[in-house]
Structure 1
Amino acid sequence: MNPRPFKIPQSVLVVIHTPSLDVLLINRTDSPGYWQSVTGSKDHLDELFEDTARREVREETGIDTAIGTLTDWNIENIYDIYPRYLHRYAPGVTRNREHVFGLCVPAGTPVVLNPREHTASRWLPHREAADACFSPSNAEAILMLPQFAR
């Protein structure tokens, strides 16, 4: 059996929201109390960020992005990988490049979590959602939602 391949330090952050700017937050299984938007790394280097976003939304929430509008915000964050997650990356990799998207879905869109990754979900008004996020880049993206939601 092959060991798990190292994660690619290129990921997406997808702020899923309704037209009234309620934001979906999910709680990671490995980090109780750590609420966040959908995130995930590319599966291979030539995978487009948009394809990564669509895949991660489907894998983590069960939501098909075709029911809403996926928007590339053309924002990238570079950040230090949290020390507790460094083992997932190749030796010497300490920073990640995160590309930000928004996904507007109808209010009442059902969420079906992947139980291996998340334990709970909740919809919150965007300012409350930003306050609930553990990740500064995630909170900042949520606070920018009004300028991207049209």
Structure 2
Amino acid sequence: MRTKIAVGVTAGLLVIYLVFALRYGLLLISVGEPVAIGLGIALFVLPLLAIWALVVELRFAIRAERLGVRLEAEGGLPTEELPLRPSGRIDRAAAVEVFPTYQAATEGAPEDWRTWFRLGLAYDAAGDRRRARWATRQAIRLSRGS
């Protein structure tokens, strides 16, 4: 729940920032000087990119959370009790040890979104965020067909 509140607050602050950026972009364009117009246009383009990135990330998070809830309801979440570091994060060495199990399961059933989602969780636990997001995206894509 804390994460959702933090995401909401951060998104709200970004929206406020974007409103101010757009306002100042309009002011700069209205000056009429070429440099000011260029800066004003940049203040329009950059917020649009930020809005696009925010929407993409929120859609990813919502879809991934739905898959996690669905997999939990099916009883398909990983059950290993991995040791935790003092920070509360999973010990990476222990996560790397169980990783081949999830990789083999995904190779055995490459069209099952559940194996991809569990692989994404394994990548995340092992500290490989880029591959975790990639595997979760695969799970999301495959779940739409099921």
TM-score class, shorter-chain normalisation, is under 0.3
Structure number, greater radius of gyration:
2
The structure that is helix-richer by fraction is 2
Higher relative strand content: 1
Report the TM-score when normalising by structure 1.
0.22
TM-score (norm 2): 0.22
